[in-house]
Amino acid sequence: MAKKLPPQTKMATCNEQQILVRDKDLVKELIGKISFTDMFFYHLMQRMPTPADTAILDAVLVTLMEHGLTPSAIATRLTIMSAPESFQGAMAAGLMGVGSGLVGTMEGMAKNLTEITTAEDGLEAAAKRVAQGFRDSRQAIPGFGHPVHKPDDPRTPRLFDVAREAGVSGKYIEAVAVLSAAVDEAYGRHLTINATGGIAVILSEIGIPWDVMRGIAVVSRSAGLVGHIKEERERPIAPFIFAHLEEVIPYAGDRKLD
């Protein structure tokens, strides 16, 4: 078992005058030489990104950063009101909500893409099988459908264009087109590939494993939450939220106040 290997890490080390992060000298080779996005990619994948890798990771991080008053943003704003002493605590409260309800779809799409692109029965048959499987179990299929953006989520074609322009192979973009057709057929109506679905596609194009995709979403969203805390301080809405919800959500217990 892996846990019996001697403990070690390849993350970073330092002495009085040098800091290594992974296999690079932080001061001489990284600071001022590469962007945050390159550094994040390098740290995660342990190789320097190609221009395509950078373009795609940037596009993903830009897409996910800010979505307005999401559950995460509301949680962060209420928390900084109640506990102004902990900036990071308010961020953490919001980040806890970057969960399966929202970004889980990214992981599900990525897993489905892996399944259909490696299936023995071929892409089309596998796409139909997967789409029908979700349909039969009356589940939403991850990465498809959107409550607001209809008929199509405008972010998805843009993300695919960025990926194509960056020169990716297009294997997963093609696969998702096949899956999309199978989904529309199985569900009997058109379901858009949503942005988190599209993100799973292009992150798959550059080899990001599905099981770290949620971490990328957390990083991007964390930047958005810094903006929410700043706006909350400049023009607070948390006191309104707290007071207003008390008004519109009545107490419905059997006992009444005297």
Residue number with CB closer to a copy of itself (122 or 242): 242
One-letter identity of residue 144: F
Question: What is the Cα–Cα distance from 175 to 109, expressed in whole angstroms?
Answer: 11
Residue number with CB closer to a copy of itself (151 or 188): 151
User: What is the closest distance, in whole angstroms, from the C-beta atom of residue 138 to a copy of itself in the complex?
Assistant: 13
**Which listed residue (119, 123, 181, 238) binds a copy of itself by CB under 8 A?**
238
The token duo for 99 is 């969960």
Touching a copy of itself, residues 210-229 (CB under 8 A): 211-212, 214-216, 218-220, 222-229
Question: Which position has the token pair 């490696």?
Answer: 118
Residue number with CB closer to a copy of itself (143 or 224): 224
Residue number with CB closer to a copy of itself (40 or 172): 40
Q: Which stretch binds a copy of itself (CB under 8 A): 64-72, 132-140, 169-177, 182-190?
A: 64-72
For residue 9, state whether it binds a copy of itself (rule: CB under 8 A).
Answer: yes
Residue number with CB closer to a copy of itself (165 or 174): 165
The token duo for 111 is 């897993």
What 3-state DSSP class applies to 193?
A: strand
Residue number with CB closer to a copy of itself (112 or 153): 153
Residue 14 phi, psi dihedral angles, 5° rounding = -160, 160
Size of the site for a copy of itself (CB under 8 A): 129
The token duo for 159 is 């993300």
Question: What is the Cα–Cα distance from 13 to 182, expressed in whole angstroms?
Answer: 50
The Cα-based distances of 162 to 38, 52, 212, 253, 257 in angstroms read 17, 9, 21, 54, 60
Touching a copy of itself, residues 136-195 (CB under 8 A): 148-150, 154-155, 158-159, 161-162, 165
**Which listed residue (49, 52, 58, 116) binds a copy of itself by CB under 8 A?**
58
What 3-state DSSP class applies to 64?
A: helix
Pairing of strands 19-21, 12-14: antiparallel
**Which listed residue (52, 59, 113, 193) binds a copy of itself by CB under 8 A?**
59
Burial level of 45, CB count in 10 A (0-12/13-18/19+)?
A: middle
Touching a copy of itself, residues 86-145 (CB under 8 A): 86-102, 104
